Amino acid sequence: MDLDSLTLAYAYGCRNAGDFAINEGSLALLSRACPEADVTAVSRFASASPEYQRMADRLDTLAEGALVGGPITYDPERQSRPAQLAALARNGLQYGVDLAGVAEGRSAHSALYERITDGDALLFNGGNAIHYSPSHGNLPYLLAMLYPLQVARRNDVPYGLLPQTTFGLAGLPKRLVRSLLADAEFVMTRDAITFDYLSEFGLPTQLINGVDTAFLNGTPEPSAPSDGGPARIAAVPRFSTLGDTGELDEAGERMEETFLTYLERLVESGHEVTLTIQTEIDEAWAARHRDRLDDIGVGYVESYDPDALRDHYAGMDLLVTMRLHAAIFALSVGTPTIGVYRREWGPKTPGTFRTLDIAEYAMPWDEATAEALTSTTEDALDEGAALSRHIADNVAMRNEVLVSDLRTALATADGFA
């Protein structure tokens, strides 16, 4: 069939520059792979919410009216406990109505249901939406994320998944996810570790190894390192648990002190260090540590705009980050990057670095001492232009392959052809 209309679900919000960049990258990918299709994005947020309006104002790559509100009003970060319980009750009822598909007419169904069932096909947006962590009790989260795929499958609407990081599945969540992936026309992964992980599922559908769609909006060019002067180094923190919820644990407190000590050593060595903030939760962390950061002598940049962040990282000799999308912004413009990660955050950082053939610059927290970080920093600075060229070449190649693979998948998958 001809793909005249595509639904993209979910479109993420603006509180995290990295999540928002997935929107822009996915829309760029669809524009290049199937430029004839009209794309409507379904927001994660209800149309009456401030987050929906912020996103609508900034997604200028969509035609007016091509963003619809989602069915989920539950927001634990902004609602009181009674409001959370009321939202969960409403959302659960809507979920049941949409998935059962028994309501007469359309009035009882959500905008998500109507948009998916009206379109020719559904594409599930990229990121790391499909994961499960019993310690965080996030089965409701997983069910909410899979909502669009359930609606599409129950209504015989063909669907495919844009580049995902998937991890932590076992028992019922794994059976649920596997059945949805098995009925997809294709599944794209955004890192090499997820590709290996899903390869073990024995899926009958096409599995494609790709990269995060946010890479598509950068211009990968080798950077020119500082000529004999101090190195310009950006540093991005992330001191939160999976999903940006929960309190900092003992390992987090240790890494927090390690990170601050590392920044101190960089400044003492004569480097120009800029703490860079691109999510609201990291802004709060920086505010709590402002006195210590001022004493160390680091600069400070805060931005939630992906283009501004790419420009910022393009002016650096090196980025050291705990946020994957900070790494993506920097790598997409050819800036050498060190990624520091907690294993429970999943394989997105080490898998992405492995995909780009720079696995030695991904460092888990339990190995990230101040000494190890300093040593790896000096190694990356010594590699300078050669490392930047290697990164730029790999990013450019992976971007072209991603577009080509999606174009082929849309042309050859049974449900889309």
Q: Of 132-136, 218-222, 272-276, where does the model show the most confidence? A: 272-276
Q: What pLDDT, in 10s, does the model give residues 320-374?
A: 999 999 999 999 999 999 999 998 888 999 999 999 999 999 999 999 999 999 9
Does the pLDDT at position 105 exceed 80? no
pLDDT at 252: 81
Which is more confidently placed, 223 or 99?
A: 99
CA distance 346 to 126: 15
pLDDT at 60: 78
pLDDT at 1: 47
pLDDT at 291: 96
pLDDT at 71: 86
CATH fold label, 5-216: Rossmann fold (3.40.50)
Q: What pLDDT, in 10s, does the model give residues 216-271?
A: 999 998 877 766 678 999 999 998 765 544 556 788 889 999 999 999 999 999 99
Classify domain 232-395 at the CATH class level: alpha beta
What pTM was computed for the model?
Answer: 0.91
pLDDT at 332: 97
pLDDT at 227: 67
Q: What pLDDT, in 10s, does the model give residues 275-316?
A: 999 988 899 999 999 999 999 999 999 999 999 999 999 999
Read off the pLDDT band of 103 (50, 70, 90).
Answer: low
Segment 51-60 shows an average pLDDT of 86
pLDDT at 65: 81
| Domain spans, the chain | 5-216, 232-395
What does pLDDT average to over the chain?
A: 90
Q: What pLDDT, in 10s, does the model give residues 16-29?
A: 889 999 999 999 99
pLDDT at 245: 46
* Residue with token string 């009206």: 118
Segment 49-58 shows an average pLDDT of 87
pLDDT at 355: 96
Read off the pLDDT band of 84 (50, 70, 90).
Answer: confident
Q: What pLDDT, in 10s, does the model give residues 376-397?
A: 999 999 999 999 999 999 999 9
pLDDT at 183: 97
